[in-house]
Structure 1
Amino acid sequence: MTIHSISSHREIRSAQARVADQDWRTLTGELNAHGCAVMPALLAPDECAEIAALYPREEHFRSHVVMARHGFGKGEYRYFRYPLPDLIEGLRTALYPRLATVANDWNEKMGVALRYPGDHAAFLKRCHDEGQTKPTPLLLQYGPGDFNCLHQDLYGALAFPLQVAVLLSEPGEDFEGGEFVLTEQRPRMQSRAEVVPLRRGDAVIFAVHNRPVQGTKGHYRVNLRHGVSRLRSGQRHTVGIIFHDAK
């Protein structure tokens, strides 16, 4: 399978099948308990290599960000332009309904009135109606000494509360260090850090901004940020699938 040789229709069906094969009961439990969950082997090694190989091909991207210029860390990334590569578009479309169910449950528990529609096209229409029309899926590249500061990918007033990152490189072979890190700040408590081990092709689902936590008097809201620790050696590529568009 490649991201170029298979038609968009077949690619989306393939993405739907692999997303449906995931253990969503366990994934939902992990998201509710920890704010993150790992989908193992979502992409095959050849798919990872093909997506990573797009990085120098500027025709696929709308913008290029060098993190050090903006205080985001060290490393760089490129935002894809529309139309997205078929496989990335297919995964974005297939993952969204599963995660919308979690997102709506979280909003109900946090007392947030906003509810998300059941399909991604309807949600993107909301984004575009808000003036958020720029695609947000991105391809990140790190070299020795690079890192990504803790942050939140919001991009506008309308933000979907979950996103997905897929590691395209193999730890221990392609790079050392560079762990995915999630931090959570609970009211009147110290921050909690979660380091998520990933292999090439694994995808981590994680909270973008807030999530509910069960307390003694009901649910309360916690704030999350994510980043990548310092790369010790080698090169690391990741594809980020963000479900809301940007202004």
Structure 2
Amino acid sequence: MNIQLRPKEALSAQAAKSRVAKYDWVEISEDLSSQGCAVIERLLSQDECRQVATLYPQEEHFRSHVHMARHGFGKGEYRYFKYPLPELLSSLRTALYPRLAVIANEWNVRMNIDRRYPAQHADFLKECHAGGQTRPTPLLLQYVPGDFNCLHQDLYGDLAFPLQVAILLSEPGKDFTGGEFVLTEQRPRMQSRVEVVQLRQGDAVAFAVHNRPVKGTKGTYRVNLRHGVSRVRTGMRHTVGIIFHDAK
């Protein structure tokens, strides 16, 4: 059955901007800065989650299909969306970016990185495309029992946005069990720290893709982060990933 995101069900750019603005971005920024991740509760409704998940078998929406085991990424599969993105995802990508760009720029100041990100996503994409990074990176992931995603970083070119968002589309305990989102942080001269993020259907997690600044006794230093998904025990788990830079 071919189910489309009909215009009346889609999320317009203005509606997405209004929805995103309702969250406490001071608290989100503090969580990201202190933990490397922050939960954005109920970013999508139950119906919106189902609408996005049903796109998975519809090949016309995607530019590529990846089986993780073939590449040593874990076990499971995902599809990269092609342009134009579904309006719901495109609108959220555009609305979330400015909020996260403020955090990304503040982090770069703290880490003595010269790079500054433009205020609007369209301008950032122009920079990506000028650098030869023209392929869209939002993706839809599907896991069944035994599947997992190895710890990794989503870096697709020289120009990579340091924050990313993943939205859980399935309902834990009903649609699947297991499959927790996991974030690890490698600290200099210390053992790694693990964060297991509990999400409900429609919840999003914003997280650091590569590094985040940490204040130490001798100033600010960088810690390295990776993210993944633990083994799914039962059922089927769908997640959509919103990555803000395009790929080569």
User: Into which bin does the TM-score normalised by the smaller protein fall?
Assistant: over 0.9
Root mean square deviation of aligned Cα: 1.1
Q: Which runs of 5+ in 1 are unaligned?
A: none
TM-score scaled by length of structure 1 = 0.97
Q: Is the 8 A contact 1:4 1:86 kept in 2?
A: no
- Offset at 1:7? 8.5
Q: Which runs of 5+ in 2 are unaligned?
A: none
- Which residue matches 2:95? 94
- Which residue matches 2:215? 214
1:3 matches 2:31 = no
- For the residue of structure 1 that corresponds to 2:12, the secondary structure is helix
- Which residue matches 2:153? 152
Give aligned pairs, total.
245
- Offset at 1:245? 0.2
- Which residue matches 1:38? 39
- Measure, in 2, the Cα distance between the counterparts of 1:29 and 1:173: 32
Q: Which runs of 4+ in 1 moved over 3 A?
A: none
- Which residue matches 1:52? 53
- Offset at 1:181? 0.1
- Measure, in 2, the Cα distance between the counterparts of 1:211 and 1:26: 17
- Measure, in 2, the Cα distance between the counterparts of 1:11 and 1:58: 24
- For the residue of structure 2 that corresponds to 1:131, the secondary structure is coil
TM-score scaled by length of structure 2 = 0.97
Matches within 5 A, 1:142-221: 142-221=143-222
- Which residue matches 1:15? 16
Letter in 1 for 2:54: A
- Measure, in 1, the Cα distance between the counterparts of 2:5 and 2:95: 16
Task: Report % sequence identity.
Answer: 71
- For the residue of structure 1 that corresponds to 2:78, the secondary structure is strand
- Which residue matches 1:82? 83
Q: Is the 8 A contact 1:62 1:81 kept in 2?
A: yes
**In the TM superposition, what whole-angstrom CA distance separates every residue of 1:70-93 from its partner, at most 9, and x where no partner exists?**
000000000000000001000000
**In the TM superposition, what whole-angstrom CA distance separates every residue of 1:133-173 from its partner, at most 9, and x where no partner exists?**
00000000000000000000000000000000000000000
